[in-house]
Amino acid sequence: MNFDYSGEQQMLLDSVLRYGLDNWSADKRLACLKDLPSNVTKSWAEMADLGWLMLSIPEEEGGLGGTPVDVMALMEGIGRHLIPVPYVTSCVLVPALLSGTGETATEILEGIGLGNIRAAAGFLESEGGFDLNYVGLSAELSDNRWLLSGEKVHVEDGGDADWYVVSARTAGSIMDSDGISLFLISANSPGLKVENFRAVDGHTHSRLRLDNVNATLVGEKDQALMRIESAVDRAITAHVAEAVASMEMANAVTLDYLGTRRQFGVSIGSFQVLQHRAVDMAIAAEEARSMMLHATLNLNADPVTRKRAVSAAKTRVGQTGLYVAKQAVQLHGGVGTCDELIISHHLKRQMMLDTAYGQADYHRTRFANVS
Amino acid sequence: MNLEFTNEELAFQEEVRSFFAEVVPKEWLTRVRAGLRLEPKELIAYQKALAERGWGAPNWPKEFGGTGWGPTQIYIFESEATRAGAPIQFHQGLELIGPIIFTYGSDEQKKRFLPGIINADDWWCQGYSEPGAGSDLASLKTTAAKDGDEYVLNGQKMWTSYAHVASHMFVLARTSNEEKRQQGISLLLVDMKTPGIQVKPIDTMDEKHHTNEVFLDDVRVPVNNLVGEEGRGWGYGKVLLDRERMVSAANAIHIQQVIDGARAAAERLIAGVPLYKTPTFSSKFAQLEIEATALKTMVLRLMADAAAGVDSGPRGSMVKLRWSELYQSAMGLWLEALGPEAAHFRGLENTQAPSDMPYAMQGALYSRVTSIYGGSSEIQRNIIARRALGL
């Protein structure tokens, strides 16, 4: 039992922290956000050069075969400096969905690792909430070609994707666990309409409408749900690490502010009510870090253990992350609500991280019902 | 980074598990789950069984009769105790005065008192708090005046848990008045049979006698029973600061027993469906389990720090604070699970009532004191603000 990073993991974390400080630090952020797409593209290319994009891709598919702890180290750096790249989607979720499914997938994974391809994944449908088994999008086999029709209401980080991995119904009815398959579609496929949405945290998401879109089956037909759940759990756990690092940064910035801001002739950190609030925020971050470790170190456990660990972490980190970010704004007072201070950006990212793949209450229910 | 135990640790786990299977009677279960102390004679029997196995003082160094275990072994030991329904060991001798004696006491004191703590021949209580000295302990007024080769104690102690059972009491008393209130306080070891000691029970809302007022009226204590130097008693408590993370950790590990108690109570059927399967209860129970998971992982990190000889900073205070909150909410959920019959505290005459009926309510009421004793949650927040946040 130990909770230390290896030397290599610590070096990875240090270099991501250095990269974030150099390129996305709080004082540069507003300027970066003014031309967000080109800054994200620039960062993406630099991260590719650094080898980070291929971290969790298996070695036999052109990657580094990194472990969940490696990914956690990298995500801590991304979260601390709120780097708004679609890393989790393209480099954690999609590789987990595609790896080991054949040649087409391998080509795409190699492209992702080198920074030439961005990919996203769509599961969620209207009326399905965050349920991954709620799949109505249809897949019909015609002349040995799969044709997909239907809609995906939210594709996390779908904005600039070159490829989409989507779940489709190949058997059974809309909420069945069996009969779900995964398909790859190119972003410029005829019959595919992509609508993009800017989120408050700098990420760009999509809605997909498919009308007889030509698609490639990946993995085993009808049996994709387990693979999807496992991949989404990896994405959630990476998001959890991002959230924890963001919380810790928000706490550090707030603590600094408590020491420097003066009112009533004294620093506001001398007030006991604010001291106790800061302590509760510190405890919240300790709990969240513990949950991050719990989820990450159980990612390769049996499915029941994994699901309970991941949903427990998603629940508690969602709750504590929002608590910390909201209190950080509160303790800053009026300026906490301004774009100019980094604090409001942490709150917006925490809100989005809580929402991604199901808020705290959704995952608490999943935790209770896993068997 | 990993959560796995080594083969050696797994073997140790087996050894501990089979020991607990032997020594823990079933009739302890509900009380232990409700976080209530067992009867003194039960606790003494348990301590004696541990001592006989050589495990009487899991947290002590070998040279003083302890196990010399590292943090991982202690974690395994407490986890297995939790699984088996064993209680927390009575801590006032083992975790409070014992370590002070082996750190600051004379050889004579070590020889006389340490074995009695481990084998439960002696029972220690803590004479610290007073009517006017609670969170602000340094304002204590009890005096110890030197008279020949004796100190003469006068004053009143309060919240002296198990003074009615104890054979000995360790007392903080003022031996001189100094400008700084923390100076001039001395630590004395007192035999409870000494004339002039009067113990009066304090009736508490859980209807369980565990705490007392102690009146000290010209109580004569041999100077040999002074620990360390006169006037330095306050500072000796510092040795406990570093150790208290282990005490908090043990409590936190045992939180699973309370959760199991609430879960067992939620087997109650509601229109044919177990309560724990109904959406509202299941959601609240899940929240509790999730927060307990965070607490347990905090403890694991604390243990890993201790094993590496790294200061955990204020993590011990955080664990104490969160443990007391979770214990309280778990007891609340347990009561809720009992439904209308939660109102039945004790059966009167001609009543068929289960013998463990009062324990859930007693635990729920008793749990309130855990966020007050040993440094209230507010004091813990002050400590964390100062030590960790530099505020």
Rg (CA), chain A: 21
Q: For A249-258, what is each residue's pLDDT tens digit?
A: 999 999 999 9
Give A258's contacts in chain B (Cβ within 8 Å).
391
Residues B365 and B254 both lie in one domain: yes
| Pairs of CB atoms within 8 A across A/B | 110
Instruction: CATH number of the domain at B82, please.
Output: 1.10.540.10
Give B3's contacts in chain A (Cβ within 8 Å).
1, 297-298
How far are the Cα atoms of A327, A338, B133, B210 from residue B202, in angstroms, in the given order?
41, 55, 17, 8
If one counts every other C-beta atom within 10 angstroms of the C-beta of residue A102, the result is 12
Q: What is the pLDDT, as a whole number, of residue B355? A: 67
Q: At residue B243, does pLDDT exceed 80?
A: no
Burial B298-324 (b: 16+ CB within 10 A, else e): bbbbbbbbbbeeeebebbbbbbbbbbb
Residues B203 and B297 both lie in one domain: no
Q: Among B266-270, B276-280, B330-334, B348-352, where is mean pLDDT lowest? A: B348-352
Residues B217 and B244 both lie in one domain: no
Residue of chain B whose Cα is closest to the Cα of A314: B290
- Identity of the residue in B2, B315, B322 whose CB atom sits nearest the CB atom of A2: B2
Residue of chain B whose Cα is closest to the Cα of A267: B391
Report the C-alpha gap between A9 and A73 in whole angstroms.
Answer: 6
Mean pLDDT over all residues of chain B?
94
Where a domain ends, among B203, B231, B259?
B231
Q: For B149-170, what is each residue's pLDDT tens digit?
A: 999 999 999 999 999 999 999 9
Query: What architecture does CATH give domain A119-222?
Result: Beta Barrel (2.40)
- Provide the residue ranges of all domains of chain A, joining segments of one domain with +: 7-114, 119-222, 226-369
> For residue B105, how many C-alpha atoms fall within 13 Å in the half-sphere facing its CB?
20
Q: Do A276 and B286 touch (CB under 8 A)?
A: no
Distance from CA of A367 to the nearest CA of B (A): 7
- Domain range enclosing B16: 7-101
Report the C-alpha gap between B113 and B105 in whole angstroms.
Answer: 10
- Identity of the residue in B1, B378, B388 whose CB atom sits nearest the CB atom of A3: B1
Q: Which residues does chain A have with pLDDT short of 50?
A: none
Give B321's contacts in chain A (Cβ within 8 Å).
283
Q: Are B72 and B250 in contact (CB under 8 A)?
A: no
Fold of A226-369: Butyryl-CoA Dehydrogenase, subunit A; domain 3 (1.20.140)
Give B388's contacts in chain A (Cβ within 8 Å).
279, 282
Residues B288 and B316 both lie in one domain: yes
> For residue B344, how many C-alpha atoms fall within 13 Å in the half-sphere facing its CB?
13
Read off the pLDDT band of B241 (50, 70, 90).
low
How far are the Cα atoms of A252, A285, B355 from residue A245, in angstroms, in the given order?
11, 9, 50
Instruction: CATH number of the domain at B131, please.
Output: 2.40.110.10
Provide ipTM, 2 decimals. Answer: 0.96
Structural domain tally of chain B? 3
How far are the Cα atoms of A206, A328, B313, B323 from residue A273, in angstroms, in the given order?
43, 14, 22, 22
Q: At residue B13, does pLDDT exceed 90?
A: yes
- CATH number of the structural domain A7-114: 1.10.540.10
Residue B198 lies in a domain: yes
